[in-house]
A and B are shown apart, each in its own frame.
Chain A
Amino acid sequence: MTPPTGGVPMPAPDKEPLIRMDGIHKWFGNNHVLRGVDLALEPGEVQVIIGPSGGGKSTLLRCANMLERPTLGSVWFESQDITDIRTDLNAVRTRMGMVFQQFNLFPHMTAISNITIALEKVLKLDDGEAKHRAMEQLRHVGLEQKADAYPGALSGGQQQRVAIARALAMKPTLMLFDEVTSALDPELVGEVLAVMRQLADEGMTMMVVTHEMGFAREVGTWMVFVDGGVIAERGRPKEMFANPESDRLRQFFSKVL
């Protein structure tokens, strides 16, 4: 039933992975965007996903928390098949934070309300506890003094840090980052990457789609090169940067480095 998996096969994991994606295929109409992708991530690891635009990186990430439902294949998260139709995805998503390229803060709410809304309505925390937790996260990203500012009054970098704080406040076990610095002015990229680097140092498990090659090399535990809907190459970031095996990756590096 399952079509053959393309690309480089995944090595057998040592431990029980936090998230495992098995033979993921995704069609948008007739467009076969993901053509059999396997990915597994153990707690504390940072999986960097690079590749040319249109190659399926973002779709792969969005399949992880089922914003896109895979047409074929399964996603196992915390030892549970979340592609099973009976899964309570809302409960799953509280444990899987996501940060978007366009920030997607709620423009009609202050920074702190952006964070407390889900704490109160989804996790059912009381007002005081939600505020306390939100301030804690704002402090974490260095924006406690902007708690009462509306997103429109914040810079892109500040908005993205609030978005990260919003996701972190749910106390997720996995964080998904979808090209979070791509919409930022160059001088604002650093502050967001610094927050992500700190998060990785603290042991957060992360899947990061990015075009920031320096970040990928230094922070990534694993790196995959996604091209044409398959994982064309996988390995340790430093080795892949030093000795790219495939021509496609070499070509990609020659364009972006």
Chain B
Amino acid sequence: MSVAETERVIVVEPPPDTRGPSSPISATALWLGIAAITAVLGGTLLLQVNYAVSDRVLTPGCVELRLTPDITGALNVCNMVDALRSSAQTLLLYGGIALGIAAMVLGWGIAKRMDSFRRREQAVTGAILGVQAVVIALVILAFRNGRPDLFAKNFLNFTVLGEYFPGPFFAAMKNTIVLAFVGEAGGVLVGLFLALLALSKRKAARAPARAYINFFRGTPLIWQLLTAYFVLLLGFGIVPSSLLVAMGVFALNTGAYAAEVFRAGIQSIERGQMEAARSLGMTYLQAMRFAIVPQAVRRVIPPLMNEFVILIKDTALIIVLGLLASQYELFQWARGGQSDTFNATFFTATALGYLAVTLPLIRLVNAVEKRLQSGLVGIAGAGG
């Protein structure tokens, strides 16, 4: 065999260029999207403010809608409706829809041809904002073609709050927080006790704890409130205070949920921790107290805070027991105001009241969770 035969001719073909063409336009889609959402949301808001602050009188159109001067806050409602039905608003909505569609088409059209991730993200973000602008604009269009006057009169007429705000409102807000806090604090104690029973290796200790937990998790809170009240009133012949019954039932109910949280938290600690503690001669209770529970507590804080947020909302159920006016919490404050004035704006205000409490709490939970995810070193370092 000759050398020439064994030699191979290696043809080097250039690899195909798999890149698509790059688009000349880059940030335009993002700006289109921002413009669309600004026109729809910002423009609508600006119009509302403009109509609200300018000196206007009840227009004939409003009087036709039966927004007569004898109705509390008629002018405010009139301003809202007029702003919504103005030609400026029409322009904003249709303009917003046009811009939004343009952003969608352009954004998704060019996203794949961008030459950097940042630019691709900008294009896609523009398209997403476009979708949001179109959807919101369509909803506002449909709304103003219905009876925005009736809705605004009944749900957005904050003038009717009158003497119910701010004094009684903030008193109610305080009552809501106190009610939820007492319930949660009691629930944590009940829950810790139940969790230790539920973790027992002896069935005789476990069974009643399981039965309790399943019962309270398996029946509606509203049923528990009513039953507790009437068992005390009729069964035991005690005339109970609604507030105390509610606090007790909230504690018992939250206890069932908190027990599961504690149990999961304790069980999530590696088995080796208990074995290490026991191999050093610690008793089961010492191992729990010094090694397991301190680690478990850190893991159960976020879910327990979530339980607290849930309980804040569930305090509304106390309405089935009825309260004295001085004991009103947010929901009953709204119900009281609504039945006095025949106006549901109280419920809108109540929602804002709940959000004012729950939103900061939810943010706090997320912050704590993030902190805990960064590992035990971080917490331990910060704690000690």
Residue of B nearest to A123 (CB): B281
Contact A107 B279 (CB under 8 A): no
Within the complex, what minimum Cβ distance (angstroms) separates A158 from chain B?
A: 14
In chain B, positions 230-273 with a C-beta closer than 8 Å to chain A are 270, 272-273
Cβ-based interface call for A150 (8 A): yes
Cβ-based interface call for B220 (8 A): no
State the CA gap A176–B299 with chains docked (Å): 32
Residue of A nearest to B383 (CB): A108
Give 1 or 0 for each of A83-98: 1 = CB within 8 Å of chain B CB: 0000000110110111
Q: Which of B272, B277, B295 lies in contact with A108, CB distance below 8 A?
A: B295
Contact B279 A106 (CB under 8 A): no
Known: A104-B273, A117-B290. A150 touches B280 (CB 8 A): no
State the CA gap A118–B375 with chains docked (Å): 25
Within the complex, what minimum Cβ distance (angstroms) separates A164 from chain B?
A: 12
State the CA gap A109–B278 with chains docked (Å): 17
Contact B279 A98 (CB under 8 A): yes
Q: CB-CB < 8 A to A39: which residues of B?
A: none
State the CA gap A48–B376 with chains docked (Å): 35
Within the complex, what minimum Cβ distance (angstroms) separates A165 from chain B?
A: 12
Known: A108-B294, A152-B375. A121 touches B286 (CB 8 A): yes
Within the complex, what minimum Cβ distance (angstroms) separates B381 from chain A?
A: 7
Q: Which of B278, B280, B380 lies in contact with A107, CB distance below 8 A?
A: B380
Cβ-based interface call for A167 (8 A): yes
Known: A121-B286, A121-B290, A150-B376. A100 touches B295 (CB 8 A): no
Known: A117-B290, A150-B376. A166 touches B280 (CB 8 A): yes
Cβ-based interface call for B11 (8 A): no
Contact B282 A122 (CB under 8 A): yes
Contact A110 B384 (CB under 8 A): yes
Residue of B nearest to A105 (CB): B276
Q: CB-CB < 8 A to B272: which residues of A?
A: 100, 102, 104
Within the complex, what minimum Cβ distance (angstroms) separates B97 from chain A?
A: 54
Q: CB-CB < 8 A to B376: which residues of A?
A: 107-108, 150, 152
Cβ-based interface call for B10 (8 A): no
Known: A67-B275, A106-B273. A150 touches B377 (CB 8 A): yes
Residue of A nearest to B379 (CB): A108
Residue of A nearest to B375 (CB): A152
In chain A, positions 137-175 with a C-beta closer than 8 Å to chain B are 150, 152-153, 163, 166-167, 170
Most chain A CB within a 10 A radius of its CB, from B286, B290, B384: B290
State the CA gap A61–B243 with chains docked (Å): 59
Give 1 or 0 for each of B111-126: 1 = CB within 8 Å of chain A CB: 0000000000000000
Q: CB-CB < 8 A to B283: which residues of A?
A: 90
Within the complex, what minimum Cβ distance (angstroms) separates A113 from chain B?
A: 9
Q: CB-CB < 8 A to B294: which residues of A?
A: 108
Cβ-based interface call for A59 (8 A): no
Contact B281 A170 (CB under 8 A): yes
Q: CB-CB < 8 A to B379: which residues of A?
A: 108
State the CA gap A110–B377 with chains docked (Å): 10
Contact B281 A94 (CB under 8 A): yes
Q: Which of B273, B277, B280 lies in contact with A170, CB distance below 8 A?
A: B280
Q: CB-CB < 8 A to A152: which residues of B?
A: 375-377, 380
Q: Which 10 pairs across A and B sit closest by C-beta, in order of nearness?
A: A152-B377, A104-B276, A94-B281, A118-B280, A104-B272, A98-B279, A122-B281, A107-B376, A93-B281, A90-B281
Chain B residues within 8 Å of A, Cβ to Cβ: 270, 272-273, 275-283, 286, 290-291, 294-295, 298, 375-377, 379-381, 384
Other 10 A-B pairs with CB < 8 A, given A98-B279, A100-B275, A107-B295: A93-B280, A98-B276, A100-B276, A104-B272, A104-B275, A104-B276, A106-B291, A152-B375, A152-B376, A170-B280
Give me 14 A-to-B residue pairs in the complex whose CB atoms sit less than 8 angstroms apart, sorted by A's number.
Answer: A67-B278, A93-B279, A94-B281, A100-B275, A104-B272, A104-B276, A106-B277, A106-B291, A108-B294, A108-B376, A117-B280, A121-B282, A121-B290, A170-B281
Chain A residues within 8 Å of B, Cβ to Cβ: 65, 67, 90-91, 93-94, 96-98, 100, 102, 104-110, 117-118, 121-123, 150, 152-153, 163, 166-167, 170
